[in-house]
Amino acid sequence: MTLPLDGRVAVVTGAFGRLGPVWCGALLEAGATVVGVDLPGASPSAAYAGLEREGRDRLHTFSADVLNRSSLEAVRDRCETLGTIPSVLVNNAGLDQPPGLAATYRLEEIPVEVFRAVVEVNLVGAFLAAQVFGAGMVSAGRGSIVNIGSLYASVSPDARFYDHLPTDPPFLKPPAYGASKAGLVNLTRYLAAHWGPHGVRVNALSPGGVEGGQDPEFKRKFVGRVPLGRMAAPEDLRGPLIFLASDASSYVTGVELRVDGGFTSW
């Protein structure tokens, strides 16, 4: 049976992160040879290590910093040994600051360095990766770039989701996160318009809240806003990614596909 991505090479940045293994696993199941990219010295997450332990000879792990163009170019050059240039790029590398993993600030006191770091990775890093890997797609006359957005590209986080947390100052979803993802969605449209004539499609996939061990009170509040009545499971994201990465979406470019259970519909 021919799989949707047989014979294609797909690059996933931020492969060790929370959603990186979801994208890598989906692409592998669709027949692609997958190049997982993450920071030099970073340790694979348990989920990514699980993919590696399965002994799949189509999963390759390379190191690069998405803010370092030369390191991305080195990954691109190493991809030549896989038999074909990458025709799929999943721009997944990003910074987020969930509760408990970062300092909290009042809105008017957020250091500009904290704001800038998120924007640089989430937006500038995606732009650099698109430049490096998109150039080969343009030359080949085909390719699919999938930028990983967020429901917060479209709406503001609701601070009431977090007001039960005992932090002082109160936890705020970082403003740079949504701003960077909104910028990424617009960059998606820009690249789609400019590279469409060369056969390269560029789309955004924006997940809603994904189940991942959040505290019960947060989940209760969040799910109360979701028409489908639950948070996303990783399996909910696989099909949308393969749709955008494969020829199933051959006439789709410049769109943001929201996979949020209806969160942004009201």
| Catalytically annotated residues | 177
Q: Locate 247 and state its tokens.
A: 């020829």
CB atoms inside a 10 Å sphere around CB 265: 9
User: What kind and span of H or E run contains 127?
Assistant: helix 125-140
DSSP classification of residue 197: G
Q: What are phi and psi of 115, to 5 degrees?
A: -60, -50
| CA dist., res. 70 & res. 76, Å (int) | 10
Contact between residue 48 and residue 15 where contact means Cβ atoms under 8 Å apart: yes
Contact between residue 241 and residue 26 where contact means Cβ atoms under 8 Å apart: yes
CB atoms inside a 10 Å sphere around CB 207: 24
Distances (CA, A) of 45 to 14, 57, 183: 11, 19, 28
| CA dist., res. 88 & res. 81, Å (int) | 16
